[in-house]
Structure 1
Amino acid sequence: MPASSPLPLPLLKRIPPGLWTALVWVVAAVQPIVEYVLMPPRHEYSLSYPRDGLDSLTAQALLGLAFLVVLTGSALLRRQTAVAYGLVIVGTVISSVAWRQDEVLPLQFLGVDVGLCYVAATRPRRTAIIATAGALGVLAGFLVLRWAAGGESGTASEPFVALTVIIAWLIGNSVHQARAHTAELHARAAAQAITAERLRIAREMHDTVAHSIGIIALQAGAAARVVETQPAKAREAMITVEQVGRETLAGLRRMLGALRQADQEQEPPTRDQGPTSHDQGHAQAPLRPSVGLADLERLAATTTAAGVRVEVWWQGKRRPLPVDIDLAAFRIVQEAVTNVVRHAAVDRCQVKVVYREDELVVEVVDQGKGNGTNTTNPHTGFGLVGMRERIALLDGRFSAGPRSEGGFRVAARLPVPTAAGAEPAAKAGTR
């Protein structure tokens, strides 16, 4: 199915900035020609645009040169912004000279303001400040020359035009800051997504590998102790080690295949570079976890074979659960049982799974002496932290601690959407 095309930009945003600059400048330049030169004479007249201002060939050539310079600058505004902006200012000055004016033409300078707004919005602040200073310097130059020639009378237009220059810079600078803030937010969101994904992978690696390696270590130790006196049991233990090792390896391959496929989706192959056979082998790797409460009996059997009997109790009507809740519940049980095997020094524990109308309750209880942490090196135990994070991500409640009657208890309550699992499942049983 082809990917959906992005939404088109609004019309105003699709127009290039150079075209806006040229459009504003040309309209401002053509308007006095039409009004004061081409139209029939009227009682109104303009000191800035006298009717005979363009009678000479020199004035007409200068005005044509001004159009050429400004249109060239507008065309180059996106690629060579500094040079293009300078050309717009030069063209504006030439236009004033063509009309034989000793002051800047306010309407013509609106094109300069549009160009300055683009410079301030897209270029570093230093470049925008230099561009603003250039425009203000041109205005100051007109004012100083007129004062030096003794022709200053009435109210000067340069201060008002300078105000429009400042406003254009403020608008462009605001756009620049908004874009920078948006880019920062996007970068921060991407960093948070990467961190969250790393934590998820770390939890999966811990839950999968730690449990399996613990079982392998126990079975290998048991086999080493009875290899000479009870070779049959040693063989059975080593078969369990092989099975658990293969399952762990398969889980790691699924996880790595999912990560590899995610990388391939982010960086699609080129047209002339097809996927290799190795990549095709991982293309069907499942992205969703393949374990859940349905694997609880198998987990109990494996742990029982390792020397710790796991009694699983089911209450309520078993039904399909959302994938994230199903996975979280299984990982909670898996990690709690692993802690029992490692630290509780008991030969049995109980697992209770309760299906309620709006929540799932998981509880693991033992009668051992463990306190939920690694007594050998308490700073390396991440099991309870990982369980707590899983439950918090699903808006559930988690508790773990010693019981007053002895032993340790791990309990989790996971909210279940009422629409999840409408299909009936097998009735609960006990083991």
Structure 2
Amino acid sequence: MPDITPHRPPAPLLQRLLICFGVAALGLALYATMAGGPVPFVGQESQGAALAGPAFAMAAPLAWVRRQPWPILAVLLAQTAGAAALGLRAEQIWPLFPAGHLVVGLVAATRAPRAGLAAAVVTLAVQETVLQLDLFRDGGWARVLAPGYLGLTTCLALAVLFAWLAGTSVRQRREYGEALRDQASAQAVTAERLRIARELHDMVAHSIGVIAIQAGAGSRVIGSAPEQARSSLQAIEATGRETLRGLRHMLDLLRQTEPEREPSLEPAPFAGLTDLDRLVSTTADAGVEVEVRRRGVQRPLPTAVDQCAFRIIQESVTNVVRHAATQHCRATVDCRPRELLVEVVDDGPGRTATPTPNSDYGSDYGYGYGIRGMRERVALLGGSFTAGPRPEGGFRVAARLPLPPTAAAPAAWTPLTASTAEAP
């Protein structure tokens, strides 16, 4: 059975070099300070050479401090207390003090807040005890309470406090960065879900509306006008195939997790203002005449603006087909130097200021997702959006989309004449 136990990746070379340097520095510092005074367990004649082994042995545990900071801190504190119990002076083992402070900072930076606080308290207690006992052994309370040694005691406490605060600051910055990344990821997921919801709604709602109208018309005339019923069925088939192709493309993009995977052979269903002729044609088949008016200078548009303008017109026309109870609406596209204005109006009596739970008035009235999706699209581009009943009757949808000084798009607009069709 293969070994599936996760292995810790090797530490970077720089970290290993720093750890080796720290071990060597602590060993040399201990050797130098221990040699500055008598060592009870080493003979006076061989004291210099014999101290090298114990000094570097005491420093060796630092090699594992990155993986096990708590045990290494316990070892350093035990060494401090043991050396003092064997008769070494505080000035002979003082390098163990800053080494303990560094480990306190590491514990506070990499472990839970309680663990860091406990490490600081234990370290301060052990080091202060060793220092005060050494002072008391030399001169009693007079030496302990001397102003200079009180200052040394305060400095030792401040050093432990500083190490704990530094480690806590590092941990808090890391946790804050992780929280920001998690929040950004959550926002990205939410934005993507909303985008997919808008695309699905815009792609399916219009097609389903056309299919429903054509199916109803075909069922009413299937006995009396077979040719008209056949035309309705052909429109249903064409609309269904187009919607299925778009859904397959979207699902293919959503399931594509490998960058090197070949894309779908089907063309991407990009929808822009150049597709208005198709929209007018399918809407005419559903029995609604769409009059398209163009104003301003026709020029290439940014892809996002082009697609947003088309989706607004498509969703508005779909609502006219489904709810307005009229056979005519007007779509106006006004391209100005700094903005693109899109407006869709109808004069049907089907939509009033009092919505029903099945209507698609959007967030302005508390029902549906169509107008809500249009509002979100416009907001993402920094524009403004309004939708609501007109005083003279009917419904109006208007959007203002800002344009950069020089706009570029895959293709320029194509001339389009208004299409008309009688209701089937």
Pairwise CA distance, 1:202:
0.7
Report the identity percentage.
43
**Counterpart in 2 of 1:121?**
109
Query: Structure 1: 5+ residue runs without aligned partners?
Result: 1-10, 38-48, 269-278
CA distance in 2, matches of 1:115, 1:293: 65
The answer to whether structure 1 residue 230 and structure 2 residue 231 are counterparts is: no
**Equivalent residue pairs, number:** 391
* Secondary structure in structure 1 of the residue aligned to 2:244: helix
Pairwise CA distance, 1:29:
2.8
**Counterpart in 2 of 1:394?**
381
Pairwise CA distance, 1:308:
0.8
Query: Structure 2: 5+ residue runs without aligned partners?
Result: 1-11, 360-365, 419-424
Distance 1:60 1:163, change over 3 A: farther
Pairwise CA distance, 1:401:
1.9
**Counterpart in 2 of 1:417?**
404
Give me the CA root mean square deviation.
3.2
Pairwise CA distance, 1:122:
0.9
* Contact in 2 for aligned 1:343/1:374 (Cα 8 Å): no
* Contact in 1 for aligned 2:24/2:59 (Cα 8 Å): no
1:162-215 deviation per Cα after TM superposition (whole angstroms, max 9, x unaligned): 321111111111111111111111111110111111111111111111111111
CA distance in 2, matches of 1:79, 1:30: 26
* Secondary structure in structure 2 of the residue aligned to 1:363: strand
Q: What is the one-letter code of the residue matched to 1:203?
A: R
The answer to whether structure 1 residue 64 and structure 2 residue 57 are counterparts is: no
CA distance in 1, matches of 2:233, 2:414: 35
* Secondary structure in structure 1 of the residue aligned to 2:401: strand
**Counterpart in 2 of 1:139?**
127
* Contact in 1 for aligned 2:210/2:283 (Cα 8 Å): yes
* Secondary structure in structure 2 of the residue aligned to 1:400: strand
Distance 1:376 1:126, change over 3 A: closer
**Counterpart in 2 of 1:408?**
395
* Contact in 1 for aligned 2:215/2:236 (Cα 8 Å): yes
Q: What is the one-letter code of the residue matched to 2:58?
A: V
* Secondary structure in structure 1 of the residue aligned to 2:258: helix
Distance 1:300 1:320, change over 3 A: same
Q: What is the one-letter code of the residue matched to 2:30?
A: A
CA distance in 1, matches of 2:283, 2:308: 19
* Contact in 1 for aligned 2:272/2:307 (Cα 8 Å): yes
Greater CA deviation, 170-179 or 105-114? 105-114
**Counterpart in 2 of 1:74?**
62
Pairwise CA distance, 1:102:
5.2
* Contact in 2 for aligned 1:113/1:164 (Cα 8 Å): yes
Greater CA deviation, 296-305 or 412-421? 412-421
* Secondary structure in structure 2 of the residue aligned to 1:264: coil
User: What is the TM-score normalised by the length of structure 2?
Assistant: 0.82
* Contact in 1 for aligned 2:104/2:119 (Cα 8 Å): yes
CA distance in 2, matches of 1:129, 1:423: 61
**Counterpart in 2 of 1:41?**
none
* Contact in 2 for aligned 1:70/1:92 (Cα 8 Å): no
Greater CA deviation, 408-417 or 89-98? 89-98
User: What is the TM-score normalised by the length of structure 1?
Assistant: 0.81
**Counterpart in 1 of 2:307?**
327
**Counterpart in 1 of 2:317?**
337
CA distance in 1, matches of 2:137, 2:17: 41
Q: What is the one-letter code of the residue matched to 1:382?
A: Y
CA distance in 2, matches of 1:258, 1:292: 19
* Contact in 2 for aligned 1:117/1:171 (Cα 8 Å): yes
CA distance in 2, matches of 1:179, 1:247: 50
CA distance in 2, matches of 1:351, 1:228: 36
The answer to whether structure 1 residue 254 and structure 2 residue 249 are counterparts is: yes
Pairwise CA distance, 1:28:
3.3
**Counterpart in 1 of 2:99?**
111
Distance 1:145 1:228, change over 3 A: same
**Counterpart in 2 of 1:375?**
356
CA distance in 2, matches of 1:372, 1:283: 45
**Counterpart in 1 of 2:30?**
29
CA distance in 2, matches of 1:23, 1:197: 53
Larger RCO, structures 1/2 (Cα 8 Å, 6+ apart):
2
Pairwise CA distance, 1:83:
1.5
* Contact in 2 for aligned 1:18/1:115 (Cα 8 Å): no
Distance 1:100 1:106, change over 3 A: closer
Distance 1:93 1:59, change over 3 A: farther
**Counterpart in 2 of 1:239?**
234
**Counterpart in 2 of 1:305?**
285
The answer to whether structure 1 residue 264 and structure 2 residue 254 are counterparts is: no
* Contact in 2 for aligned 1:65/1:91 (Cα 8 Å): no
Distance 1:25 1:102, change over 3 A: closer
CA distance in 2, matches of 1:386, 1:16: 57
Distance 1:335 1:70, change over 3 A: same
1:165 to 137, 147, 160: 160
Distance 1:428 1:233, change over 3 A: closer
**Counterpart in 2 of 1:6?**
none
CA distance in 2, matches of 1:149, 1:324: 81
Pairwise CA distance, 1:234:
0.7
Pairwise CA distance, 1:318:
2.4
* Contact in 2 for aligned 1:314/1:352 (Cα 8 Å): yes
Pairwise CA distance, 1:147:
7.0
* Secondary structure in structure 1 of the residue aligned to 2:88: coil
